[in-house]
Amino acid sequence: MTKSIKVSNAFRDEVGAQPAVLATVGGAGAGAVAFAGVPDGVPAEEVPSATLGKVIVRGALFTEVLADDVMASREKPRAGEDEREAAVRAAVEKTVRTLARQVLGVDGAPLKTYAEWNVFGVRHREEALHLFNVARRLNGSAEDAEKN
């Protein structure tokens, strides 16, 4: 079960609620926009960020979805953790992994490493969670498209 992480309205107002560009790279629609580093057919958006400038957020690849599923299914409680605490830890780690692989600079390269997002999230929590929620929405869009 996956839930959205809430981002305050103040943050949304600061950076703007609407993405600058939404594209499915290589999509059938006229005027499809190609973003560097985004494979053909993967949904992506240019998203304004208060501290990072404009970034590209892309949807997940199938291999990434499968890897996350395998990691979640194999996650066991560590010393001193119960099942719930292990599930929370796994969800938090997935959030940071998602940011590290799906938030790109305009050059198409991942914007930050896992460790860098871990630090960024402490100082800019709402911004990091906003970008994560954009990625989750794009991931859902890709999954919905595959079902149809």
- Which string of DSSP letters, residue by residue, matches 6-56? P--HHHHHHH-SS-SEEEETT-SSTTPPP-TT--TT-EEEEEEETTTEEEE
Examine residue 83 and state whether it is found in any structural domain, yes or no.
Answer: yes
- What CATH number is associated with residue 25? 3.30.2220.20
Q: pLDDT at position 16, please? A: 52
Per-residue pLDDT reduced to its tens digit, 60-97? 999 999 998 898 888 889 999 999 998 899 999 999 99
Examine residue 70 and state whether it is found in any structural domain, yes or no.
Answer: yes
Per-residue pLDDT reduced to its tens digit, 28-65? 444 557 899 999 999 999 999 999 999 999 999 999 99
Examine residue 1 and state whether it is found in any structural domain, yes or no.
Answer: no
CA distance 103 to 135: 8
Q: Is 16 exposed, middle or buried (0-12, 13-18, 19+ CB in 10 A)?
A: exposed
Give the tokens for residue 116.
């860098």
What is the tally of structural domains in the chain? 1
Give residue 123's domain range. 11-147
Examine residue 5 and state whether it is found in any structural domain, yes or no.
Answer: no
The answer, yes or no, to whether residue 27 has pLDDT greater than 50, is no
Share of the chain above pLDDT 90, in %: 59
Examine residue 6 and state whether it is found in any structural domain, yes or no.
Answer: no
Say if residues 24 and 43 touch (Cβ distance below 8 Å).
yes
Examine residue 21 and state whether it is found in any structural domain, yes or no.
Answer: yes
What pTM value is reported for the model? 0.75
Per-residue pLDDT reduced to its tens digit, 104-126? 999 999 999 999 999 999 999 99
Name, in order, each residue with C-beta under 8 angstroms of 6's C-beta and a sequence gap of 6 or more. Answer: 129
Examine residue 4 and state whether it is found in any structural domain, yes or no.
Answer: no
Say if residues 101 and 110 touch (Cβ distance below 8 Å).
yes
Examine residue 2 and state whether it is found in any structural domain, yes or no.
Answer: no
Task: Catalogue the long-range contacts made by 94-100 (C-beta closer than 8 Å, 24 or more residues apart).
Answer: 94/68, 95/5, 95/129, 95/132, 96/121, 97/68, 98/60, 98/132, 98/135, 98/136, 98/139, 99/128, 99/131, 99/132, 99/135
